[in-house]
């Protein structure tokens, strides 16, 4: 990626009122969100169950332009590539832990026209993902255990972000979990440029101001 890095804020819509998914998503975009982070859980890889491609497709039918990233917390990510591509997803981010052939899944995602994101649970070492970074568009470092909202931010994951930024200066690096105004400085200094924030943005009295604060903090570190 030769383009300069940008600070990108992608609220996780899981914490919003899911009975008003379109309205809540549109509100986030109107308040300055750069993309929407859609958490897909299968009740197997993680204990919770959320929504699948029919909901994403329905959302895409109303929101034409926004960048959609699906965070696939699923045991068999290969199974959902075609349906999610059909639903209009831009970036397909999957967890590497349950996948026997990561390269094959990456290739199928690219062939379907989506970007590739590789996600790591807090306990997964960077050595597990290192040889696939060159074929990915983004690496997601989880700063909580995947599957539940509202957990405490794990600062001990920042060395992973730092190492990635040092070795891959132009890579999009995303953090997800417990990220908000009180923890953004730490993420920005480590080198994350894609910020997923659920509770802190959704529950903010002023969503636009919170999104701006997050973006400005990251942009400052990039510069």
Backbone angles phi, psi at 172, to 5 degrees: -75, 120
Q: Which of 42, 90, 137, 176 is catalytic?
A: 176
- Told to judge if 90 belongs to the known catalytic residues of this protein, a careful annotator would answer no
Give domain status of residue 41, yes or no.
Answer: yes
| Burial bucket for residue 99 (CB in 10 Å: 0-12, 13-18, 19+) | middle
Q: Which two tokens stand for residue 145?
A: 């255990």
Number of domains in the chain: 1
Helix (H) or strand (E) holding 107: helix 102-111
Give domain status of residue 3, yes or no.
Answer: no
Residue pLDDT, tens place only, 36-70: 999 999 999 999 999 999 999 999 999 999 999 99
Return the CA Rg of the chain: 16
Which domain does 110 fall in, by range?
A: 8-222
Residue pLDDT, tens place only, 164-212: 999 999 999 999 999 999 999 999 999 999 999 999 999 999 999 999 9
Is 138 strand, coil or helix? strand
Sheet of 91-95: strand order equals 8-11, 194-197, 172-176, 138-142, 115-120, 91-95, 67-73, 35-41
Q: Which two tokens stand for residue 155?
A: 């600062």
**pLDDT of res. 149:** 66
Give domain status of residue 2, yes or no.
Answer: no
Q: Which residues are annotated as a binding site?
A: 12, 37, 39, 71, 147-150, 176, 178, 198-199
Give domain status of residue 1, yes or no.
Answer: no
Q: Which of 39, 42, 90, 137 is catalytic?
A: 39
Give domain status of residue 187, yes or no.
Answer: yes
Closest CA to 175 of 215, 144, 131: 144
The C-alpha angle with vertex 49 and arms to 137 and 175, in degrees rounded to 5, equals: 35
pLDDT of 133 > 70? The answer is: yes
pLDDT of 84 > 50? The answer is: yes
Give domain status of residue 103, yes or no.
Answer: yes
15: confidence class by pLDDT, cuts 50, 70, 90: confident
Give the CATH number, domain containing residue 114: 3.20.20.70
Q: Which residues are annotated as a binding site for substrate?
A: 12, 71, 147-150, 178, 198-199
The C-alpha angle with vertex 31 and arms to 217 and 151, in degrees rounded to 5, equals: 60
Give domain status of residue 62, yes or no.
Answer: yes
pLDDT of 1 > 50? The answer is: no
147: confidence class by pLDDT, cuts 50, 70, 90: confident
Residue pLDDT, tens place only, 88-106: 999 999 999 999 999 999 9
Give domain status of residue 113, yes or no.
Answer: yes
> What is the distance between the alpha carbons of residues 143 and 141, in angstroms, rounded to a whole number?
6
Q: Which residues are annotated as a binding site for a divalent metal cation?
A: 37, 39, 71, 176
Mean pLDDT value across residues 129-158 = 93
**pLDDT of res. 212:** 98
> What is the distance between the alpha carbons of residues 207 and 212, in angstroms, rounded to a whole number?
9
Residue pLDDT, tens place only, 104-120: 999 999 999 999 999 99
pTM of the shown model: 0.96
pLDDT of 148 > 90? The answer is: no
- Told to judge if 176 belongs to the known catalytic residues of this protein, a careful annotator would answer yes
């Amino acid at each position: 990626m030769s383009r300069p890095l940008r600070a990108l804020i992608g609220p996780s819509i899981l914490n919003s009122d899911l009975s008003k998914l379109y309205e809540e998503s549109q509100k986030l975009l109107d308040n300055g969100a750069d993309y929407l982070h859609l958490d897909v859980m299968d009740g197997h890889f993680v204990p919770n169950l959320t929504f699948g491609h029919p909901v994403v497709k329905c959302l895409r039918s109303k929101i034409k332009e926004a960048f959609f990233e699906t965070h696939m917390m699923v045991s068999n990510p290969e199974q959902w590539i075609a349906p999610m591509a059909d639903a209009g997803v831009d970036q397909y981010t999957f967890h590497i832990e349950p996948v026997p052939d990561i390269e094959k899944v990456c290739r199928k995602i690219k062939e379907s026209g989506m970007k590739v994101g590789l996600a790591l649970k807090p306990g997964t070492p960077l050595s597990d993902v290192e040889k696939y970074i060159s074929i990915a568009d983004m690496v997601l470092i989880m700063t909580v255990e995947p599957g539940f909202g509202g957990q405490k931010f794990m600062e001990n994951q920042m060395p992973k972000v730092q190492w990635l930024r040092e070795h891959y200066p132009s890579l999009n690096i995303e953090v997800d979990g417990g990220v908000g105004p009180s923890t953004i400085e730490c993420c920005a200094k480590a080198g994350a440029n894609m910020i997923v924030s659920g509770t802190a943005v959704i529950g903010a009295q002023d969503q636009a101001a919170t999104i701006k604060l997050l973006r400005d903090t990251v942009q400052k570190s990039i510069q």
